[in-house]
Structure formats: structure tokens, C-alpha cells
């Protein structure tokens, strides 16, 4: 394989979304000071597509969304699904759930407001929720010091199986009826 194909492979690999041939051409133009034609780039991509058809590779290059990207082959989908479920279903600690609940119901909210409600420092918990992409930084507050504002992310919705924040249970859903007598018991 020549170095042009290796460089194209590298660009496809590092791109977080399907990379268009025009973006590959612009990148080469800037980094290599060389202008490749679209045909040259497409020919290189076709060679890579054929290379990765070999059974020795677990992934392939596909055309998607007007660009090209690496995906694992269908033969490995069940294995990858199990792994990804294991990764995404890791349990949240009680402190993470408390912090996440506060953010979900009070968003947008600053760290100091969360800590005021919880009564404890939340640095570690907020960082873990950011690492898991369940919350996001939504800008800065106009308050003194311009603290960061946090809100829930799309992954939060996926994680809890909801489509909008309106689907979150209301506080009324958690409260016992005040006029009830005795303990609740399943019959």
C-alpha cells in the first residue's frame, strides 16, 4: 500500500463522523501542500475498501452520510453489542443518582447550587457524570465568578429510556398519599 492510501486510512480512522472526500482533499492540500483530484482520493478509498474485505479484518470502510467511516463487520455485532451494553449499564452510585436527579429536575444548575441541596462536595460525582456523558456543561452563569452551568445530555435520555424531560416522574409520583392509613403491603 502506498503512503497516500495509508494517510487516507488514517484520516478515515480518526474522523468522529463519516469523512467526505472534499475534507480529505482539503487536509492534504494544507498538510502536504499537494492537491489531489477527487478521482485519486476515491481510487485510494476503493483500494482500502477492498483491503478491509479480507476476513482477517474485523472492521470495514463503508460509505455513509456522503462520506466514509470505519465500522465493525456484522459478524462481530453480537459480541460488540454485549460489550457496549456492559459498558453503558454500569450502575451509578447513590451519590451519582442524587446529583443526576438534582441536575435533571433543576437544570440548568451550578455546582454550588447542587452542593447546597446535597450538603456535600460534588466535584468527583459531577466529573464522573461528565465522563459518562450523562450531563453536559451548558455554559456559564451570570453569577459572581461565572460558574459553569450543568444540564442533562441526550445520553441521559437514552440511559433512562425517555424522549423528553417531561417524561420524568413528578414529585407527586413519589409522595405517599397524606390521607392513607397504615403501611402499604402487597396482597
Question: Are 3 and 16 within 8 A, CB to CB?
Answer: no
Residue 32: predicted pLDDT: 83
Residue 176: predicted pLDDT: 60
What are the respective helix, strand and coil percentages of the chain, to the nearest 5?
50, 15, 35
Domains 3-74 and 94-174 share a fold: yes
| Residue whose C-alpha cell reads 462536595 in the numeric block | 121
| Residue whose C-alpha cell reads 483491503 in the numeric block | 51
Alpha-carbon gap, residue 144 to 183, rounded angstroms = 48
92: left (phi over 0), alpha (psi -120 to 50) or beta: beta
| Residue whose C-alpha cell reads 472492521 in the numeric block | 59
Alpha-carbon gap, residue 49 to 43, rounded angstroms = 10
Give Cα 95 distance to the centre of its chain.
22
Nearest 5°: the CA angle 63, 68, 69 is: 105
CATH topology of domain 3-74: Arc Repressor Mutant, subunit A (1.10.10)
Question: Are 38 and 25 within 8 A, CB to CB?
Answer: yes
Alpha-carbon gap, residue 48 to 60, rounded angstroms = 9
Domain boundaries, the chain: 3-74, 94-174
Residue 45: predicted pLDDT: 96
Residue 2: predicted pLDDT: 58
Residue 93: predicted pLDDT: 87
CATH number of 94-174: 1.10.10.10
Reading the chain (187 residues) residue by residue, the pLDDT tens digits are 458 999 999 999 999 899 999 999 999 999 888 889 999 999 999 999 999 999 999 999 999 989 999 999 999 989 988 888 777 666 788 999 999 999 999 999 999 999 999 999 999 999 999 998 999 999 999 999 999 999 999 989 888 888 888 888 887 776 665 655 656 655 5
Residue 133: predicted pLDDT: 92
Amino acid at each position: 500500500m502506498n503512503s497516500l492510501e495509508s494517510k487516507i486510512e488514517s484520516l478515515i480512522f480518526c474522523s468522529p463522523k463519516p469523512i467526505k472526500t472534499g475534507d480529505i482533499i482539503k487536509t492534504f492540500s494544507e498538510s502536504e501542500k499537494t492537491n489531489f483530484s477527487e478521482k485519486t482520493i476515491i481510487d485510494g478509498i476503493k483500494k482500502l475498501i477492498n483491503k478491509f474485505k479480507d476476513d482477517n479484518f474485523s472492521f470495514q470502510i463503508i460509505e455513509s452520510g456522503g462520506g466514509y467511516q470505519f465500522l465493525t463487520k456484522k459478524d462481530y455485532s453480537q459480541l460488540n453489542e454485549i460489550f457496549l451494553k456492559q459498558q453503558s449499564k454500569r450502575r451509578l452510585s447513590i451519590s451519582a443518582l442524587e446529583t443526576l436527579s438534582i441536575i435533571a429536575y433543576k437544570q440548568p444548575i451550578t455546582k454550588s447550587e447542587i452542593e447546597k441541596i446535597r450538603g456535600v462536595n460534588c466535584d468527583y460525582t459531577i466529573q464522573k457524570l461528565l465522563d459518562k456523558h450523562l450531563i453536559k456543561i451548558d455554559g456559564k452563569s451570570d453569577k459572581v465568578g461565572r460558574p459553569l452551568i450543568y444540564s442533562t445530555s441526550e445520553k441521559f435520555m437514552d440511559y433512562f429510556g425517555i424522549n423528553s424531560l417531561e417524561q420524568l416522574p413528578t414529585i407527586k409520583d413519589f409522595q405517599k398519599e397524606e390521607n392513607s392509613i397504615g403501611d402499604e403491603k402487597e396482597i
